[in-house]
Structures are given as C-alpha cells and as structure tokens.
Amino acid sequence: MAGELLKAKDILKIGQRVEFYVENDEKRYASRIEDIADETLEVAMPMTRQGVPVIPRDGEKVYGVAVGHQCRYRFFTVFKGISHKDERIPVWYITMPDKVERFQNREFVRVKVNMTAKIRIVDEDGTIHDAETVPVVDLSGSGICLALSHTIPVDIHASLELTGIPGAGNIDIMCRVVRCEPVERGDGTVIYHAGAAFQHLSRSLINQIVRYLFAVQRANIAKGLKE
C-alpha cells in the first residue's frame, strides 16, 4: 500500500543521507545530498565496497531512498551526469523529484505481491498434508506471509511452491511458521495471516527473489508518484 506523498522540496535537505538502487542491481549504495537547485540534486557519488564509482547510463532512472527520523522517503530520479564539487568531491547530478513517498523502514523489506503459493503442512511425525493454493500477502528475501482460511500451529514446518518470479521457474522452499494471526475482513469474515521464515535458501535464489521484489516496488512507486 502506498504511503503518504509529500513535496520533495519539503523533505530533501543538504547533508541528508540517501541510498540509491540502480537498474538490474539489488545492492544499496550510500550517498548524501551535497547541494540542491530548482530542478537538480547534487549527491556524493556512490561507491562499491571495493571503492569503484557507480555510474549509471545518462538518462537512466534511479530509485532513491532518503533517510528521515523514524521513517524513510522513497522516490524516482533520473541520472544526468557526473562532476566534482569544489574540484575534489565526485558527485552525481540527478533530477529533483516532485514528490517523495513516506514509509516505515520494515516496508522496504516486505513487499505486497499479487501471486499465490502452494503450501503443504508437514506434521511433527513427518506426515505431509495435501497441497493448498493460497494468496500471498507479502514477500521478502527471508520469508513470506500467506492468507489462509484456517489457523495453523506456530513452529510447524511446511513446504512451499512459488511460481511467477522471473528467471526463477518453480521454486520449492521449506519454511517454518513463525506466527498465525486472525484478521477480520470488511465483510465481517475472518481469515488468518500466517508468517513463515524460509529455510536453507541459496544466495542465488535469495538474489532472484530480492531482484523481483525491487522490480515490483519500483513499479508500484512509479505508479503512485504518477497518480
């Protein structure tokens, strides 16, 4: 769900810490705002851990996150070029966004997605129950929340089958249920949100999931900012 949209000029300040994500890269690059003009932000050039400058293509859309007090502000901007501030500090020139969206820190990790999953509950004695197809409430690189018509025990294990993540094919994951809470819907009926932590996920699979979530998040933010 989109957060509150605010005017960027009221939120973004010189010296503020910002983080950037560039296309086809799930890594987060730290920076700070060095100067602000009417239509341009001047930010410290992000670097990799090896000290290599991160330089997008001219005109590339960049996803930014400005750090505020107890929350963050996300926005899209466009890379315009590089230069040196005071002839010594390498900087990016990027467009000044019109709006930013405020969100809580944890929202950046857990993303609402439009997909389903097949879940098979595994009893303590190893009995595997029949598969049940259920909606996914949200997804992260380390876990998932499912909408169920019934409650399930906490600490029980389950197998999950996920489809619809580009490049990942069918994903079979073992998970552990960490919470199961009733949620009353608008029509008065009750469903259950079951949160589960993934078990023994490979780094490559985590990267595929995270890359997909960033793509979903970017699309949602772009749509919200346009509206």
Average pLDDT over residues 197-215: 81
**Quick one: 152 and 203 in the same domain?**
yes
> Hey, what are 24's tokens?
């086809």
**CATH number assigned to the domain comprising residue 120:** 2.40.10.220
In a domain, residue 122? The reply is yes
pLDDT of residue 1: 39
Residues 101, 116 share a domain: no
Burial 109-144 (b: 16+ CB within 10 A, else e): ebbebeebbbbebbeeeeeeeeeeebebbbbbbebb
123 lies in the same domain as 85: no
**Residue 39 above 70 pLDDT?**
yes
Structural Rg of the chain based on CA atoms: 21
Residue 176 has pLDDT above 90, yes or no: yes
Final residue of a structural domain among 87, 108, 129: 108
Average pLDDT of the segment spanning 125-152: 91
DSSP state of 45: P
Calculate what percentage of the chain has a pLDDT beyond 70. Answer: 92
| Residue that is last in its domain, among 74, 108, 142 | 108
Whether 16 and 58 share a structural domain:
yes
- Whether 224 is in a domain gets the answer no
Q: What would the mean pLDDT of 205-213 be, rounded to a whole number?
A: 80
Distance in angstroms (rounded) separating the CA atoms of residues 105 and 120: 31
- Only one residue has tokens 């950046």, namely 108
Query: What pLDDT, in 10s, does the model give residues 13-33?
Result: 999 999 998 876 667 899 999
Provide the domain count of the chain.
Answer: 2
Least confident piece of the model among 15-24, 37-46, 80-89, 207-216: 207-216
Question: Read out DSSP for 44-67?
Answer: EPPB-TTSPBP-PPTT-EEEEEEE
The reply to whether 161 falls in a domain is yes
Question: What pLDDT, in 10s, does the model give residues 92-137?
Answer: 999 999 989 887 655 556 788 889 999 999 988 888 899 999 999 9
Based on the fold, state whether residues 49 and 10 are members of the same structural domain: yes
Poorest-pLDDT segment among 149-158, 191-200, 207-216: 207-216
Predicted TM-score (pTM) of the model is 0.58
Residue 223 binned pLDDT confidence (cut-offs 50, 70, 90): low
**Containing domain of residue 30, as a range?**
5-108
The confidence band for 68, taking pLDDT boundaries of 50, 70 and 90, is: confident
pLDDT at residue number 78: 92
How much is the pLDDT for 148? 96
Reply yes or no on whether the pLDDT at 79 is more than 70. yes
Q: Do 84 and 142 fall within a single domain? A: no
What is the average pLDDT score of the chain?
86
Last residue of a domain, one of 89, 108, 127: 108
Q: Determine the average pLDDT of the residues in 65-86.
A: 88
Phi, psi for 54 (deg, rounded to 5): -95, 115
